[in-house]
Amino acid sequence: MFSKRVISPGKTIFSLILLSITPFFIFFIGYTLRVINQEYSLFAIDPEFSYLLSGILLGKGSFNLFIDHPGTPLIIFAAIVTRIVYLFRNASSYSEDVLQNPDQYLSALNISMIILITIVLFLVGLWIYRKTGNLPAAIFIQFSPFVAEYVFSVIERYMPEPWFMALVVILCGTTLLDIHGVFDNSKTKNKRPLIYGIIIGAGISLKFTFFPFIIAPLFIIRGMRKKLFYLAATTVSFLVFTFPLIKRGKVFFNWINSIVLHSGKHGSGKASVIDPQQFVLHLKTIIQSEKHLVYAALLASFVILVSLLPYIRKRIANKKYFYSLAGFSTALIVGILAVSKHYEPYYLIPYSLITVFLFYLSVNVLFEIFQFRKKWAEAIIYGIIALVMLLNPKNLKQHEEYLEIRKKIRSHNKTVAEEVNRLPKADALVIVVNNWNIMKEGGLMFGMLMTPAGGKKFGKQLNSIYPDTYLFKEQEALFFSWFDKPYTANELVNNYPVIHAIIKHHDENSSELLKDVFISTGLAEVNLIYSDSLNGVNINEIRSMDLGKPDSATDLLQ
């Protein structure tokens, strides 16, 4: 165990430089990807635009917000950042400026998030170093994001997963300091359950996939009364961080219930907890793709089993290492099983982020068993582990290829958007929401639909900024305005001489259905006027066959 000590100024400066390296690279990678990706509406709208529009509402004092993840901390952050950005813009209305320039505001949100993550990584490393004097351990914990394969594929996104980079490192740093006795003094001893409760509650409020982490502190905190206090603190923390549940609690818990009790994603599929075939397939995929995490879990399992032997257990002086290893390993197993139900690679990010910490705990339990502890030995072992993970040829190649692919795709998307903008203007626009679009209207329409009473709250402003825009919903075969009011194909054709409909031709059923609903009116002809094979974007022109049609369309919304 290392205790706090006085560190010379020269050594402090050198240590600060070393502690700045990992955060600097996190910022550099995140900012580079943000610049490459350019406008959000060119590559991602879900969930970014949902958080943006709820951020506007919170910035105006409304608590009736998007709560699916729940993701409330992202909404709070969005409200704060958009308000600050608005102060430096020459615009008359806050919400109108955000709706007119969603890409700029989302970019500001993402960059602000990356800066915050960078600062947190640096401060956690500094906190560990100042409290323990163990520089190798501090740097090793900071290294956590570099072993999560999918972290850098989402760091340029505004979604819950990148935030786990900060939160998981805070949790690991807090546990490390707890192991070193930082919370054992009289002032903080009884605050341990509260501290863990706040962190875990905040994590669950980001996204419910974090829930299995509630297990880890139960192994670390000793005494039933303190465990119950921790669970109560976690519950209160979660409710504080997700205050919109005051208004939408029933909706949220029904949503979670449908996810748990249905085998498909987002509460779809059969009314069964799991689909055994898909569950096994997903579990195999995780094991095959997350090699470092699997190795860390296997080492942790071996160390735990060895430590349970009576003779070995007696040799472990600081049993907090063992309890922490058992707690995080159990949380990992439960988390992987939960993710295997509805698998997406980025769902695994919070668990991938504890890979380094599992190695750290396993190594230190072994140090306890062999009763050998030298900081130079720690530095060498941590360095070798980090180097092996960082220099894995497959990982390096994947990151290099990923960056090049991103550059090409984003460049192509921008070219497509420019070509589409040069097309002759139509009287109305019909869009099909997809996670990639060539117009910001798609993102705004998606965000509005995901916002409670979004049409009522944003419809008037959006219709003023983007008039004559409609969303095609395949299930109803109807077209919905910014006010979420449905219209038939006949109504659109009768009021607009020329309509442009944007759709991805990869979805053949939707594409054919869209054509059929217009052709079946007998009032219009449908022609393909633009197609891009790489992204699968088609633009159909629907032209009225009524030669007596007026030059300008009648506004349906008046």
Cβ pair 14, 135 in contact under 8 A: no
Q: Which helix (H) or strand (E) holds 405?
A: helix 393-421
Say how far apart CA 233 and CA 245 lie, in whole Å: 17
- Cis amide linkage into residue 70, ω under 30° from 0: yes
Q: Is the model's pLDDT at 78 over the cut of 90?
A: yes
Residue 553 lies in a domain: no
Residue 334 and residue 444 in one domain = no
556 within a domain of the structure (yes/no): no
**Final residue in a domain of this structure, among 391, 414, 449:** 391
pLDDT interval class at 254 (50, 70, 90): confident
64 & 207 share domain: yes
Residue of 416, 324, 314 whose CA lies nearest to 364: 324
The Cα–Cα gap between 162 and 9 comes to: 34
Confidence of residue 167 (pLDDT cuts 50, 70, 90): very high
- Give CA separation, 348 vs 234, 290, 519, in Å: 22, 9, 45
End position of a domain, from candidates 369, 391, 413: 391
Residue 162 and residue 277 in one domain: yes
394 — pLDDT class (breaks 50, 70, 90): low
Whether residues 482 and 341 fall in one domain: no
Q: Do 290 and 197 reside in the same domain of the chain? A: yes
Closest CA relative to residue 102, chosen from 30, 38, 40, 31: 40
pLDDT digits (tens, 9 = 90+) for 36-62: 766 777 777 788 889 999 999 988 888
- The reply to whether 434 and 408 lie within a common domain is no
* Residues 361 and 384 placed together within one structural domain of the fold: yes
Judgement on whether residues 328 and 264 belong to the same structural domain of the protein: yes
Residues 77 and 117 in one domain: yes
Query: Would 555 be classed as within a structural domain?
Result: no
User: Tokens 């914990």, residue?
Assistant: 141
Is there a domain that residue 549 lies in? no
Distance CA 42, CA 416 (A): 9
State yes or no: pLDDT of 292 exceeds 50.
yes
Q: How confident is the model at residue 142 (pLDDT cuts 50, 70, 90)?
A: very high
Q: Please report where in the chains the tokens 């969005």 appear, as a residue.
A: 78
Query: Does any domain span residue 4?
Result: no
**pLDDT-based confidence at 412, cuts 50/70/90?**
confident
C-beta separation of 210 from 204 below 8 A: yes
Q: Using one digit for the tens of pLDDT, what is the confidence trace for 530-539?
A: 888 777 788 8
- Look at 129 and 189; give whichever has higher pLDDT: 129
Res 63: pLDDT? 81
Q: Assess if residue 550 is contained within a domain.
A: no
* 0.85 surpassed by pTM: yes
CA trace torsion 143, 147, 150, 152 (10° rounding): 40
pLDDT tens, 347-356? Answer: 889 999 999 9
User: Which whole number is the average pLDDT over 449-478?
Assistant: 87
In this structure, the answer to whether residues 440 and 367 fall within a common structural domain is no
**CA 33, 39, 43: angle at the middle one, nearest 5?**
75
Question: 2 and 403 in contact (C-beta within 8 Å)?
Answer: no
pLDDT at position 250 is 74
pLDDT of residue 20: 93
Residue 552 placed within a domain: no
pLDDT tens for each residue of 151-164 = 777 888 899 999 99
- 442 neighbors 45 (Cβ within 8 angstroms): yes
The domain tally of the chain equals 3
Q: Is 491 in the same domain as 349?
A: no
pLDDT at 335 over 60: yes
Q: Are 227 and 193 in contact (CB under 8 A)?
A: yes
| More confident call, 410 vs 156 | 156
| Structure-token pair, residue 11 | 């050594």
Q: How many CA atoms lie within 13 A of 45 on its CB side?
A: 22
Kindly report the average pLDDT of the chain as a whole number: 84
Closest CA to 282 of 270, 261, 265: 265
CB 293 within 8 Å of CB 351: yes
What residues make up the domain containing 403?
A: 395-422
Q: State residue 205's pLDDT score.
A: 93
Return d(Cα 371, Cα 354) in angstroms, integer.
25
Going by pLDDT thresholds of 50, 70 and 90, the confidence category of residue 8 is low
Name the percent of the chain lying above pLDDT 90.
Answer: 35
> 190 lies in a domain?
yes
| Count of CA atoms in the C-beta half-sphere (13 A) of 145 | 29
pLDDT at residue 334 above 90? yes
Q: Is 321 within 8 Å of 343 (Cβ atoms)?
A: no
Angstrom CA distances, 264 to 259, 268, 273, 311, stand at 8, 5, 9, 48
383 lies in the same domain as 418: no
Q: How confident is the model at residue 557 (pLDDT cuts 50, 70, 90)?
A: very low
